[in-house]
Amino acid sequence: MSERIAYTVSATFTESKVADEWIGWLTNGHIEEVRKGGATDAEILRIDGDDCRYEIRYHFPSREAFRAYEANHAPRLRAEGVEKFPTSRGITYARSTGVVIG
């Protein structure tokens, strides 16, 4: 049985205006591009206790599907994101992956 993979991108912003712009970018095309690359769904979370910290979680049906996304789609999509939202705009990024167990 294939392991379902969660891929999380965390972003912390110094300005809520930039966070709002980032969320707009996610919902107006970026999420769909990641889905075209193999993700089955995505959800955006605002982290409790911090109005300027967010996570977006993408789910992939298998580790192989996630690896294919990383090899064939992620470089282009990450470059686009960094171009629009560089760390110089007051953003700190972190990424993680994990196996969905429930």
Query: Looking at residue 1, what is its pLDDT?
Result: 61
DSSP string over 38-82: T--EEEEEEPTT-TTEEEEEEEESSHHHHHHHHHHTHHHHHHHHH
For 29-56, write each residue's pLDDT tens digit: 999 999 999 999 999 999 998 889 999 9
Helix (H) or strand (E) holding 17: helix 16-25
Among 26, 20, 58, which residue's Cα sits nearest to residue 42? Answer: 58
- CATH code of the domain occupying 5-99: 3.30.70.100
For 68-100, write each residue's pLDDT tens digit: 999 999 999 999 999 999 999 999 999 999 999
